[in-house]
A and B are shown apart, each in its own frame.
Chain A
């Protein structure tokens, strides 16, 4: 049966080839050629993904085994690719959105020198390769390879303009924060190996349907509650690193130092969803750990709210989007925490569309503004950039949760699940949704409405971006609008939630487990309508308010006060981290450097050298060059030999 799926190795292999060609030939390839190679390999992957997706849709799922990656007596790790509903959906998102962003990059990065240009595409391809490996990996080890790979690419791409040192700092920050998370992930994997002796998802019964109910009993027999909670918490630590949740979220806004397509692809659409994917992949474990779920929900919610409030006061167009990404990721974690795995995956998908759209639109704006990112210097771009304007507006409406745009459905699904679990979650979630709507339209208003506030040169220079930029925008805008229609809730249309049905096999066991533990009460249709109405109306009010307020925005030099200042400074989280982690670390490092290293280790090493030097200077005196001295030594040595030979 797996004959058709055997070709899935091509999916990650093609971007790898692209990476090698672009990376090795970066000095020879022309811009056109490297752009073409970089994009076409992704396109080819995408086409295979579409094929695979339809195979999966027809029920053809498989774990494809290629070779043994680790083979010891007690542990076998195969180099496997797991193709099922969940991974095929992610594959589509990654290669699809990735392809559009590659197209976009051919235009956006055109000012780079050709070898940097090729390098950029090489990194992008490597990123796509790693992300595909992460998603397709048939066990935690293979996933971890991709997991590390995307971290590396993120580092490389954030620091792509490495001549500016602040970019390097941002890259380092991202890398270190990710490492903290990765460490948690690794510990969780070790724990799993120690307890279960395997790292396959298979044993957790994710892959196949209902036939082996034994898996759950096996799991319960092998893992104590403490084990499960510990493992899942550690996995969640890994997810917070990669998906920028409290307390490890601060790297993501800084990551906007990278080129805009990178922000769109890596730090909005794909990589940051790796944590979501990983938790969705391990859904059985997480369902078995109610405490962890609670932690996830609370942290997700807190992240969503905090990031949204910070976004209110940011003036850098990309920073706003970055915080909004963090906030949306918080939503996804909320969904995971309340057990709405489908909702989380749904939101990942819609978020990939609209956030990529918003980032690319922002990139288009920045491009037109000649690198200007401060919204206070924009305004009135509506007249100059009609396509960007319209697509951006659609993106804003989507993220604000307006029906019938995509995020309305996904967000609604999450909020409904949250309400089901705990109404407090819902209240905070909805509040965050209002704030989201407000700051997005603040962004929109400051950028596109009102009068142009920049310099004359910039105004003169304003232009609509070329088609390589606008085309992806249009496609993404369309997807943002219609992308949600695969998950229409029951209340509107019977059998409308096709995504739920599609993903059902993946989450079947979790759902069964939940149902057996505490029988859910379906929300009545009227409640559901009421919830939707509240969120839509509230968001609408926020939109209208923001529109009015910021369409006539004027630059003011007045310093923000009170809460505004705190928000503008991002709740002082960076400063807080700086004070409690970075400073002590630096002083410890300074101590180690100055005392341990210089006095201790250097002292020891130099001391050895000095001792040898000194002693050899002394021994040198034995070498008098006088024959009699040598003779004396000879006699003494003979004497010693005699003594040893005769008496000992």
Chain B
């Protein structure tokens, strides 16, 4: 498969994630859109790693990218725990998870 296809697919997923972050007001959905964007990046990393494996001489070349993806997942998992904790906290205080209520920055 040409690398272009993977690039376009990843970009599409990423852009959909961006649109979701921009348009939705539900904090959980925004959060999920962020996860979507992370996965788009992951997919692209793996695709490039395979390109690299095809062209490079070393047997293990390209595996760094997959290690990266692994660590991205690790970080994402940690992020999700903390993020969801924050959302729960926010719901407990405002009885809503609408980000428009988080407008304290204005004042």
Contacts and interface: CB of A to CB of B under 8 A. Distances in A.
Interface stretch (A168-176, A299-307, A542-550, A621-629): A621-629
A631 interface: yes
A632 interface: yes
A264 to B, nearest CB: 75
- Number of chain B interface residues as a range: 10 to 19
A218 interface: no
A632 B106 contact: no
A626 B21 contact: no
Contacts of B21: 628, 631
Contacts of B25: 628
A422 to B, nearest CB: 92
Interface string B56-82: 000000000000000000000000000
B102 A627 contact: yes
B22 A626 contact: no
Interface in B1-55: 18, 21-23, 25
Chain A binding site: helix, strand, loop or mixed by DSSP? helix
B22 A625 contact: no
A635 interface: yes
Contacts of A626: 99-100, 102-103
Nearest to B21: A631
Taking residues whose C-beta sits less than 8 angstroms from the other chain, chain A's interface range is 10 to 19
A625 B103 contact: yes
Nearest to A620: B106
B44 to A, nearest CB: 16
Given A631-B21, A635-B22, A624 B102 contact: no
B41 to A, nearest CB: 15
Contacts of A635: 18, 22
B106 A627 contact: no
Nearest to B103: A625
Contacts of B102: 626-627
Contacts of B22: 628, 631-632, 635
A625 B107 CA distance: 8
Contacts of A627: 99, 102-103, 105
B99 A624 contact: no
A476 B18 CA distance: 103
A628 B101 CA distance: 11
Nearest to A623: B106
Contacts of B95: none
Contacts of A624: 103, 106
B48 to A, nearest CB: 19
Contact of A625 (B18, B23, B106): B106
A625 B103 CA distance: 4
A631 B106 CA distance: 15
B92 interface: no
A623 B107 CA distance: 10
A288 B23 CA distance: 93
Contacts of B103: 624-627
A627 B18 CA distance: 13
Nearest to B107: A625
Which of A624, A628, A631, A632 gathers most chain B CB within 10 Å? A628
Nearest to A636: B22
Interface of A: 623-628, 630-632, 635
* Cβ-closest 4 pairs across A and B: A625-B106, A625-B103, A625-B105, A627-B99
Given A628-B25, A628-B99, 16 more contacts: A623-B106, A624-B106, A625-B103, A625-B104, A625-B105, A626-B99, A626-B102, A626-B103, A627-B99, A627-B103, A627-B105, A628-B22, A628-B23, A630-B105, A631-B22, A635-B22
25 contacts: A623-B105, A623-B106, A624-B103, A624-B106, A625-B103, A625-B104, A625-B105, A625-B106, A626-B99, A626-B100, A626-B103, A627-B102, A627-B103, A627-B105, A628-B22, A628-B23, A628-B25, A628-B99, A628-B100, A630-B105, A631-B21, A631-B22, A632-B22, A635-B18, A635-B22
